[in-house]
Amino acid sequence: MKISVVVPAYNEEAVIERCLNALVNQIVPVDEILVVDNNSTDRTAEIAEKYREYGVRVIRETVQGLIPARNRGFDEATGDILGRIDADTVVEPDWSQRLAEAFADPDVAAATGPSWFYDAPLRRTGLAAQRLLCHRVNRVLSGHPMLWGSNMAVTKECWRELRDHACPGPDIFEDLDLAIHLHRLGRTVRYSDRLRAPVSARRIGGPLRDLYRYLRTWDRTYALHGQRRAAAGARMLTLAGLVVLFPLVGLLLRAYAPEQGRLSLRRLFSRGAAPGSRPIP
Task: Write out the H or E segment, with its range, that includes residue 124.
Answer: helix 123-130
Across-strand partners of 9?
37
Please choose, from the candidates 118, 202, 188, 129, the residue with its C-alpha nearest in 3D space to the C-alpha of residue 153. 188
Task: Report the C-alpha gap between 208 and 212 in whole angstroms.
Answer: 6
Task: Write out the H or E segment, with its range, that includes residue 21.
Answer: helix 16-24
Give how far Cα 171 sits from Cα of 48, 166, 174, 218, 240, Å.
Answer: 28, 13, 9, 9, 21
pLDDT of the residue at 276? 43
pLDDT of the residue at 121? 87
Task: Write out the H or E segment, with its range, that includes residue 34.
Answer: strand 32-37
50-99 per-position pLDDT tens digit: 999 999 999 999 999 999 999 999 999 999 999 999 999 999 999 999 99
Across-strand partners of 36?
8, 59
Residues near 121 by Cβ (< 8 Å), separated by ≥ 6?
Answer: 252, 255, 256, 262, 263
Give how far Cα 36 sits from Cα of 50, 67, 83, 147, 228, Å.
Answer: 15, 11, 13, 20, 34
Task: Report the C-alpha gap between 182 and 170 in whole angstroms.
Answer: 19
pLDDT of the residue at 261? 66
Residues near 196 by Cβ (< 8 Å), separated by ≥ 6?
Answer: 91, 92, 95, 98, 113, 114, 115, 116, 127, 151
- CB count in 10 Å sphere of residue 227: 18
pLDDT of the residue at 281? 45
Task: Report the C-alpha gap between 95 and 22 in whole angstroms.
Answer: 9
3-state secondary structure of 119: coil
Q: How confident is the chain (281 residues) per 10-residue block, as mean pLDDT?
A: 97 97 97 98 97 96 97 98 98 98 97 94 90 95 96 98 93 97 97 96 83 94 97 95 83 71 66 48 45
Give 175: exposed, middle or buried? Use CB within 10 Å, 0-12, 13-18, 19+: buried
**Angle ∠(1,113,3) on CA atoms, nearest 5:** 20
3-state secondary structure of 229: helix
Q: Sketch the domain layout of the chain as residue ranges.
A: 3-191, 208-276
Torsion sign, CA atoms 104, 90, 197, 25: positive
CATH classification number, 3-191, choose in 2.70.170.10, 3.40.50.620, 3.90.550.10, 3.40.30.10: 3.90.550.10
